Structure 1
């Protein structure tokens, strides 16, 4: 299960990479009790992991119904906002996107496995604003992404995956600063245990009744050491690391880990560094 996804086999650059999947494959499961992880985060970091706009409840309710149908377990009525109740049922984070003022905006979200951002930072913001830190997003992808949202038809579910490397095994990482501050103290001999491949598996589907879109984010993590037992994936990762495009490397801050990853790869027979030396 730890090596379930390996998007570095496909690309080492930004790509929309959306593909249709069957409804039965929409939510992957794999966590017996998501609420046990999410409830303490909601209690301690509410504005980091949760946000909603006043008009979003109808869309939230429709999203809750879709999740209930997929899991076969309707959430109990606990007085929670519908999207929050739905998110307690699944490992995925749930993001409701609705069109307002001509732009697709985040109208509600449950975000318990954030990759260096928080709910309060993105609530109410449009696609262009959310992706502004991604190098070249507006010029290369924004028009196409908006077209995908606009043209998404009911019943179609799209999936994409991305990857990064981080020195943390935690899924709750809203702030990169304390994580990156620990990099200098990592023993290179333990790079395979300390560094983790962090994969986000994302899906997108239309809400037929209310017209919004439900975006899901599922985070999978595994240490680099796991790659040592899977030579084809180790080779694919090494190739992706060496050939990653400059914009991708800059946004993912891969340079922070170059020395540690290069030493790990050399120790496992992948002798080329990121510079091909």
Structure 2
């Protein structure tokens, strides 16, 4: 098994890490029937999966047109809302932001693979409000992120990636509590298959007509056993786990998995303490 993304090779602290990508690399795909996964979630968890603010339909329609063009399709849906229709055709989650009241706010959001949040948690909120729980975000990153949004050109698509470790293969995890409650039940020798690398591949682009911004989130999950088959990446993961900044480890709840990850690393020739400097 080969990992598609390994952001732990690059960073083990909070980082903006935005890099330009080619337009044809915008949506990665990799799923035969996104609607087959997303539609039941929309039916069973509507408040978690979808939300839109009043007045967002023009920007939604423009975002949907970009998705339609990228997929080589026409007429994503005859019924609104347009962003939801587009989201049902792609693996990515789609988040629309518009500048309102002097700040960038989420005005429409489709979530099928939320990492510990729901649509109701972000709809109508500003970048500062959304990232408030991230230690040091306001001081270290907020002003820079807002400048990126303000100055982003329509012909530029940016990408970033982040990573964490979880004990569930499910992309749909709006609430981490049920998953984390099962950690004590995991035997150390089962860590390779019970723990997963959860990678978010995110993109950001500007909509030329409305000036809105479209943020995409594509979640990839691989068991830690995938690292065992890739020694260089196993070594990179071990280094990242040991060197991760304290704030990063706390926010990602990595200490919950220290004993299990230590067992996994020892079983695969990485015998140093996961907390070593």
State the TM bucket, normalised to the shorter chain.
Answer: over 0.9
Question: In 1, Cα distance between the equivalents of 2:101 and 2:80?
Answer: 28
User: Match for residue 19 of structure 1?
Assistant: 19
User: Match for residue 200 of structure 2?
Assistant: 200
User: Match for residue 40 of structure 2?
Assistant: 40
Question: In 2, Cα distance between the equivalents of 1:155 and 1:253?
Answer: 37
Question: In 2, Cα distance between the equivalents of 1:86 and 1:275?
Answer: 43
State whether structure 2 residue 183 is matched by structure 1 residue 183. Answer: yes
Structure 1, unmatched stretches of 5+, are none
* Cα RMSD after superposing both structures: 1.0
User: Match for residue 92 of structure 1?
Assistant: 92
User: Does the Cα contact within 8 Å between 1:2 and 1:220 map onto a contact in 2?
Assistant: no
State whether structure 2 residue 112 is matched by structure 1 residue 112. Answer: yes
Shift of 1:275: 2.3
User: Does the Cα contact within 8 Å between 2:238 and 2:265 map onto a contact in 1?
Assistant: yes
Question: In 2, Cα distance between the equivalents of 1:238 and 1:275?
Answer: 10
User: Does the Cα contact within 8 Å between 2:159 and 2:201 map onto a contact in 1?
Assistant: yes
Deviation by residue 1:33-68 (Cα, 9 ceiling, x = unmatched): 100000000001001000000110000000000000
List aligned pairs for 1:132-211, cutoff 5 A. 132-211=132-211
User: Match for residue 129 of structure 1?
Assistant: 129
**Structure 1, 19-28 or 67-76: larger mean CA deviation:** 67-76
Shift of 1:75: 4.4
Question: In 2, Cα distance between the equivalents of 1:74 and 1:251?
Answer: 42
Question: In 2, Cα distance between the equivalents of 1:135 and 1:240?
Answer: 19
SS at match of 1:125: coil
Deviation by residue 1:4-23 (Cα, 9 ceiling, x = unmatched): 00000000000000000000
Question: In 2, Cα distance between the equivalents of 1:201 and 1:32?
Answer: 18
Deviation by residue 1:90-126 (Cα, 9 ceiling, x = unmatched): 0000000000001100000100000000001110000
User: Does the Cα contact within 8 Å between 1:75 and 1:89 map onto a contact in 2?
Assistant: no
User: Does the Cα contact within 8 Å between 2:68 and 2:76 map onto a contact in 1?
Assistant: no
SS at match of 2:258: helix
Shift of 1:78: 4.0
After TM superposition, the score normalised by the length of structure 1 is: 0.98
User: Does the Cα contact within 8 Å between 2:19 and 2:160 map onto a contact in 1?
Assistant: yes
Question: In 2, Cα distance between the equivalents of 1:74 and 1:265?
Answer: 49
Deviation by residue 1:154-175 (Cα, 9 ceiling, x = unmatched): 1100000000000000000000
User: Does the Cα contact within 8 Å between 1:106 and 1:126 map onto a contact in 2?
Assistant: yes
Question: In 2, Cα distance between the equivalents of 1:91 and 1:2?
Answer: 19
Deviation by residue 1:176-201 (Cα, 9 ceiling, x = unmatched): 00000000000111001000000000
Shift of 1:77: 2.4
State whether structure 2 residue 251 is matched by structure 1 residue 258. Answer: no
